[in-house]
Amino acid sequence: MPQCEMCGSEQPSLTTVKVEGAELQLCDDCKEFGTEVRTESSSDASTKYSTSSSGGSDSGSSGSAGSSASGGSTRRRRDMFDTMDEIVADYDQRIREARESRSLSQEELAKSLNEKASLIRKLERGDMLPSDDVRSELEAELGISLIEGQEADDTEWSSDSSTTTTLGDVVKRKD
């Protein structure tokens, strides 16, 4: 017998309810905490995400819309994290070594960047990540790169194989 995902009681039938953005299977007592989700028929669901711009032009663009819809389903959806630069794990060592190789003190580097020396100390200890502005200034001043390479990451995600990538395939363990 299915269980309510909120209170855990076993009920013969549950209702799909959206509670603070999450869709849950809830019993009659708990469904008042959200709004009931209406399920649409399969024909409505298939046209819901159509790529055509108007109903009258469906006949002319149905072949291209169908092929792009089937091709799009195998691709990973892009989000805001795809455009973000990822800071290397050893950024603190890279900053310290580059600063020391130029015989600069933390105060001198901070002055050349128009930043506080405490910021440089925190960065070199690894207590904080550099903001994008500070990162680009450090890279220019010290001639280093604090961003991980994108080439390896892109090839890893762009494979067209039919197997599903799991978290275990992506994560690198620290053993």
Q: Are 135 and 120 spatial neighbours (Cβ–Cβ below 8 Å)?
A: no
Q: Tell me what pLDDT residue 65 has.
A: 45
- How far apart CA 155 and CA 143 sit, in angstroms, is 27
Domains of the chain: 1-38 (no CATH), 91-142 (1.10.260.40)
Q: Give the pLDDT confidence of 128-147 residue by residue, as tens digits.
A: 999 989 999 999 999 998 88
- pTM for this entry: 0.42
Q: Please identify which residue in the block is written with the tokens 């992506």.
A: 170
Residue among 125, 89, 121, 85 at smallest CA distance from 106: 121
Report the helix count and the strand count for the chain, using DSSP H and E.
8, 3
Residue 167 is which amino acid?
L
* Residue 10 main-chain phi, psi, to 5 deg: -85, 125
Query: What would the pLDDT profile of 36-67 be if each residue is shown by its tens digit?
Result: 887 655 444 444 444 444 444 444 444 444 44
